[in-house]
Amino acid sequence: MSPHLRHVCHTVGTLEVPDEVSLIYTISGCPLRCPGCHSADLRDPDLGSSLDPATFASALDRYRGLASCVCFLGGEWQPASLIELLQLAHARGFSTCLYTGHDAVDDAIAVHLDYLKLGPFIAARGGLDRPGTNQRFLDLRRGVDLTHRFQRHGSRALDLAA
Ligand code: SF4
């Protein structure tokens, strides 16, 4: 296996991290097996291309001034590679975020994060936008839970559908 994380794509979005424009990396090789996983194709660890530090740094330089945060969808299963990229992002002035299916991450990773989404996907409880979700989105810098920021639209959608 490559010593570096592999990614299938990167996009820019405003929904994943409140009040940030995020450069979002979808990482392949998720080892979890959440029933009802919405991204089962991402379980293949050989999918996509290597996200080596030089490639990543080049992308950060292209998006400097356009994006304010880098958000990794997965990658905690290769902590050394992930930490190296988080450090690069911080050094270039980007905030950092990790979406993980675990309920906690190692402190060695967390100290390099500004935002953290926790929790496996449980179909009956839904994602962050559902009032009954098991997942949590945390602002680690301020020590606050921002999960409610994802739920206004979800609640409204439920209300309208009722
Ligand atoms: S953490 Fe996400 S990608 Fe991984 S198995 Fe669970 S739902 Fe699928």
CB 114 within 8 A of CB 142: no
Q: Partners of 64 in the beta sheet?
A: 67
Contacts of 55 (CB under 8 A, 6+ apart): none
* Cα–Cα distance measured from residue 128 to residue 91, given in angstroms and rounded to the nearest whole number: 29
- Measured by CA distance, the residue closest to atom 7 of ligand 1 is 37
Total Cβ atoms within 10 A of residue 81: 21
The domains of the chain are located at: 6-161
Total Cβ atoms within 10 A of residue 39: 14
Q: Write out pLDDT tens, residues 32-60.
A: 888 888 788 888 888 889 999 999 999 99
Q: Counting atoms of ligand 1 from 1, which one is nearest the CA of 40? A: 8
Q: Given a cut of 50, is residue 15 above it in pLDDT?
A: yes
Tell how far the Cα of 121 is from the centroid of ligand 1, in angstroms: 6
Tell how far the Cα of 62 is from the centroid of ligand 1, in angstroms: 29
pLDDT of residue 39: 83
Q: What is the mean pLDDT of residues 13-30?
A: 96
Q: Could you tell which of 28, 33, 44, 121 is best to mutate to test the pocket of ligand 1, judged by most ligand atoms within 8 Å of the CB? A: 121
Q: Write out pLDDT tens, residues 56-105.
A: 999 999 999 999 999 999 999 999 999 999 999 999 999 999 999 999 99
Q: Counting atoms of ligand 1 from 1, which one is nearest the CA of 32? A: 5
User: Which residue matches tokens 């994006």?
Assistant: 67
Among residues of the chain, what percentage have pLDDT more than 70? 92
- Measured by CA distance, the residue closest to atom 3 of ligand 1 is 39
Q: Order across the sheet with 22-27: list the strands.
A: 49-50, 6-13, 22-27, 69-73, 95-99, 115-118, 136-139, 144-145
- Mean pLDDT of all residues belonging to the chain: 90
Pocket of ligand 1 (CB under 6 A): 30, 32-34, 37-39, 42, 101, 120-121
The domain defined by 6-161 carries CATH number 3.20.20.70: yes
pTM surpassing 0.75? yes
